[in-house]
Chain A
Amino acid sequence: MWQESVVEERPALLDGKSRAQSPPVLIQVPKVHSRLRGRAGHQPSATYRPRPRRRRLRREVRMALSVFGLGSLIASGVILASGLPCRPLRSEVTRVAVDLWEGTFQDRNASVFGDSDPLSDGDPFAIELHPPVIVPDAVPVAFPGYLLPGDEREDSRHAGS
């Protein structure tokens, strides 16, 4: 009785089996697009909201990116292990660069101040040191409880203030 309703038998199921043994296809349901899906006021459930399709780059691009990232990681590890960034003066290139920079700095100073060195030369920047003045007949000030060094040079009228 079911053979009456067979719409289309599935050929894959008939491989290696007799036609009588294959189960009949009772119904074929085509895919439909429900019109209500886009209707105003129809809120799809959050539970069954379809996830946005995740885009993937091509396989070759993904392989190239992974190789590039891995190579960068290994190279940075090798550079750090060699200590090159931490000891610049041991590098010949860095030493030459520093020498060049120092020469340039001295040339600039010479162009501004001339041949003289402003820190060691004379008058504009000279600092004079005056010897302390000794006052005769000075009476030391006695503060109760403690005595400061040099109190003997204070005026006697301020004693006890």
Chain B
Amino acid sequence: MREVEQALARVYARREPIEPRTGSGVARAMPHPHFRIAEPRGLAWPATVRALEREHGKRFELLADQLLRLRDVEHRKLILFTSCHRAEGRTTLVLTLARALARRPGRTLLIDADLTGPMLSRLLELQPRVGLDDVVQDDAPLAQALVEAQDDHLSILPLRGPVARPRDFLASPGWACTMARLRRDYDLILLDGSPLFTGLSATVLHRSVDAAVLVYHRELTGERSLNRAREVLEAGGVPLLGLAETFSPASSA
């Protein structure tokens, strides 16, 4: 599967990149006649993200620098952020990190890849008519689904809703093609992925990423879950960059 994606990436690298139209505020590509897109004036960042940036912005700046260094040295562009369970602060952490990355040179893309419970569009108060699910499943143009926030220097690819069959979704050729195109067009891609253990359902793992960061709630996630998550990532061939601890005590340096 990975060989196919690399071949696709090589093919797409020879083509012309996507050039979304720009304008005031948030710019998008020309909408498809069947999908009229409501143009948002700007991204409504959650108050928690702003508070995190204000109080602990240095930590995110440090992590952003490290991710960029990793991209330059080891050519790892697709970074998956996953967690063991829900409500561990994964999406908030990814949003804050994306804002830190957006202040640096290069094109950064944030993808809502939480196939079972997408939260990105809700948190940013986006109402996408076309999402990643339409691009992968219905062959909708990728440029319609991309939200280019010019003021924030950030691109976002939201999901419109939960995906019915996540495993088939990730194994589809549409997903591989989309990832290959995005890998070509962007310098760094953050995937806000699904939790590894969602109830009784099987693990949903994005194998087409270059590395993963495991977000865990300091008080809620136990040692067993973390070790199990490590095993799942190792079995899927996804290298684990490290852990991101949320809800830490305020005194931690």
- A: which residues have CB within 8 A of B? 1-2, 5, 7-8, 10, 12-13, 15, 23-37, 42, 45, 47-48
Given contacts A2-B66, A23-B214, A23-B243, contact A29 B226 (CB under 8 A): no
Are B63 and A5 in contact, CB atoms less than 8 angstroms apart? Answer: yes
Beyond the given A5-B242, A7-B252, A7-B253, please list 18 additional residue pairs across the A-B interface where CB-CB is below 8 A: A1-B66, A1-B69, A1-B73, A8-B253, A23-B241, A24-B242, A25-B244, A26-B244, A27-B245, A29-B52, A29-B56, A29-B59, A29-B244, A29-B247, A31-B248, A32-B52, A32-B56, A34-B50
Can you report 15 A-B residue pairs in the complex whose CB atoms are below 8 A from each other? A1-B66, A5-B66, A8-B253, A23-B243, A26-B63, A26-B66, A28-B252, A29-B59, A29-B245, A29-B247, A30-B250, A30-B252, A34-B46, A35-B47, A42-B47
Please tell me if B199 contacts chain A, counting CB pairs below 8 Å.
no
Number of interface residues of B (CB under 8 A): 40
**Interfacial chain B residues near A30, Cβ < 8 Å:** 55-56, 247-250, 252
Cβ-closest 7 pairs across A and B: A34-B47, A36-B47, A12-B223, A26-B242, A28-B248, A34-B51, A24-B242
Please tell me if B240 contacts chain A, counting CB pairs below 8 Å.
yes
Nearest opposing residue in chain B for A37, CB measure: B47
Flag B28-50 by CB within 8 Å of A: 1 or 0 each: 00000000000000000011101
**Interfacial chain B residues near A47, Cβ < 8 Å:** 122
- B: which residues have CB within 8 A of A? 46-48, 50-52, 55-56, 59-60, 62-63, 66, 69-70, 73, 89, 93, 96, 122, 213-214, 222-223, 226-227, 230, 240-250, 252-253
CA distance A35 to B243 in the complex (A): 28
CA distance A150 to B14 in the complex (A): 125
**Interfacial chain B residues near A27, Cβ < 8 Å:** 59-60, 62-63, 93, 244-245
Nearest opposing residue in chain A for B223, CB measure: A12
Q: How far is the CB of B222 from chain A (nearest CB, A)?
A: 8
Are B51 and A33 in contact, CB atoms less than 8 angstroms apart? Answer: yes
Nearest opposing residue in chain B for A16, CB measure: B227
Given contacts A5-B66, A15-B223, A32-B55, contact A25 B47 (CB under 8 A): no
Nearest opposing residue in chain B for A39, CB measure: B47
Contact of B48 among A10, A12, A24, A32 (CB under 8 A): A32
**Interfacial chain B residues near A1, Cβ < 8 Å:** 66, 69-70, 73
**Interfacial chain B residues near A23, Cβ < 8 Å:** 214, 230, 240-243
Nearest opposing residue in chain B for A33, CB measure: B51
CA distance A72 to B70 in the complex (A): 71
**Interfacial chain A residues near B223, Cβ < 8 Å:** 12-13, 15
**Interfacial chain B residues near A15, Cβ < 8 Å:** 223
**Interfacial chain A residues near B242, Cβ < 8 Å:** 2, 5, 23-26
